[in-house]
Chain A
Amino acid sequence: MSKFVPIAPSSKSFETHNAYELGFSDSTNAYVKKSDPGIDKKLVEQISSEKNEPNWMRELRLQALQKFELMPIPTWGGDLSHIDFSSIQYFLKPIDKEKKNWEEVPEYIKQTFEKIGTPKAEREYLAGVKTQYDSEVIYGSLKKTWEKLGVVFLSMDEGLRQYPDLVREYFGTLIPFGDNKFAALNGAAWSGGSFIYVPKNVEVTMPLQAYFRINAERAGQFERTLIIADEGSKVSYAEGCSSPMYSSASLHSAVVEIFVKKGARVQYTTVQNWYRDVYNLVTKRARVEEEGEMIWTDCNLGSKLTMKFPAFVLAGKGAKGETLSIAVAGEGQHQDTGSKAIHLAPYTSSNIVSKSISKNGGRASYRGLVHVGPQAEKSKSKVVCDALILDDQSRSDTYPTEKVFTNDVELSHEATVSKIGEEQLFYLMSRGLSEEEASKMIVRGFAEPLVKKLPLEFAVEMNRLIDLEMEGSVG
């Protein structure tokens, strides 16, 4: 038990209630108002000291920085050549996030809010005009429920502060800094994200939402999330939202590490709809022990380029992993997404379903890996990728790799690429639907098997968003 006794929160923490409740900083706190562009040793040390981190975390950050500086930008996947690391601001704290006027918010974002019925109260927040949302009332009662169960749900910064030993045990062990350049960047500059610990055999019935996380930015540039689901526990986590998210940062590089212990079950849902000039590069991985289960539900709608391949390492006998992924690539967008399933133990199974829609010149790519190691006998893997290309300007790619190192397995992979069938359109129109209505219905039907597995609020908004994307795409 001693491992988990929280250390009293330090009053010098910049993530206290006060600063956020009122929406402006308390002048007695020494904040750096705005960091200069570019990242270097000095900035990393500054970030660490601002947060009052233990030495070992500062050391980790510096190691990560070294790796980041040495590694080249990957040449596979999307086009990353325009990212200028020296001009990015790496430490945008919530308080110094630029306050925009509602007038400055792009028209298409305003219209989307109107059409998908986002409550007026939320719109300004989502558009980056307001930097805090008053979820205190909702949050207060939820917090009590979690405390009773022994569930820990904090921002990553606070988690490090209160549970340093636990964090140290797991942080960076599943996704080491050398994994890829952006994981290294995150390791050096991370701020915000969620820290979740669920005790043995505890079932958290309501999904934990990033939204309810205390006092954190709605979505930071370099979020770091760590989830530990102890044996037999069940938890579901959701982040993002389908309303278009405006961000002052043009590069988002998050890292998510999840540890699913024996017999535990974790579902992680992300709905991403970043403004169209954002680079969204995410590394997500789960390690699943014996009889554990990991489900990634991923919806990628926005951003200029998203590269995201949720992975699970099936390390224990009977472990199960599932990825349900839907991507919509519109004008000027490239969704390069997929999943990786690594089977290391016997009787493991993986199931990947990926659906993509490309239109108006967008490009959707599926990139996947299924690796079945020599110890993974009697394992099964099934991958299905379906792509819908709506016009002749758009593009779809599928790059799956299947590697099998033992024979007693069943592995299959299927991919289809098609457009909306004319006979299908004709049939629906003959029953009175206009061409646009019929197209919308068919595209919704295409996405349906996936959308129905999302938490309800997301599902409703997803459907409306798909309809919206379809409007004006027909003709």
Chain B
Amino acid sequence: MSIDISEKNGMQEIILDKKGMELEIIGNFHVKGTEKKEISLRIVHKVPSTKASVKFHGVVEDSAFLKITGTIVVEKQAQQTQSFLREKILLLSPSAKAEAIPNLEILANDVKCSHAASITKINEDQLFYLMSRGLSQKQAEQEIVKGFLA
């Protein structure tokens, strides 16, 4: 089952309370101008053998600000949980700002959990390649952003 929280704001909590539940949560966030967006997701594994995979992609342009907080909680009895959180943020301009806060609170031991976060700008080699095929810088950036959010 897949949940898309791209349009949401503020704090979201998702609880996995049925054995065998498998969830995919995605969020694509694109902020421009002087927009400020803060999104916070808390995933709680309450029973054994559930699986969650969270993928957040953010693009920040101009002087916008994006803050993504993702917390995975695995309660003591939730053995055999698999939970993964990925946050990737692309900063397009020198005045773009971002905060990534991936948290883990793990009280069970027979689990597979990981999270990863990265904040980068556009890969210049990629930009160069697209531009050498005739795209303007703006077009090339748009293509890369599209690919990033896909």
Contacts and interface: CB of A to CB of B under 8 A. Distances in A.
Please name the 9 residue pairs, one residue from A and one from B, whose CB atoms are nearest each other, closest first. A407-B91, A389-B109, A398-B104, A416-B114, A412-B118, A417-B113, A411-B119, A407-B121, A402-B100
Nearest to A401: B101
Given A389-B108, A413-B102, 4 more contacts: A392-B76, A408-B121, A409-B119, A409-B121
Interface string A395-421: 111111111111111111111111100
Contact of B104 (A377, A406, A415): A415
Contacts of A413: 100, 102, 115-118
Given A402-B117, A411-B120, A397 B94 contact: no
Nearest to A412: B118
Contacts of B111: 389, 417-419
Interface residues of A, number: 33
B110 interface: yes
Determine the main DSSP class of B at the interface with A: strand
B14 interface: no
A443 interface: no
Residue with the greatest number of chain B CB neighbours at <10 A, chosen from A374, A391, A415, A418:
A415
A416 B113 contact: yes
B97 to A, nearest CB: 5
Contacts of B49: none
A419 B119 contact: no
A400 B119 CA distance: 14
Given A407-B93, A412-B116, A395 B107 contact: yes
A183 interface: no
A248 to B, nearest CB: 34
Nearest to B97: A405
Nearest to A413: B117
Contacts of B96: 407
A404 B98 contact: yes
A390 interface: yes
A394 interface: yes
Interface string A211-226: 0000000000000000
Contacts of B104: 396-398, 415, 417
Contacts of A416: 113-114
Interface in B68-100: 76, 79, 89, 91-100
A256 interface: no
B106 interface: yes
A410 B120 contact: yes
B99 to A, nearest CB: 5
B5 to A, nearest CB: 20
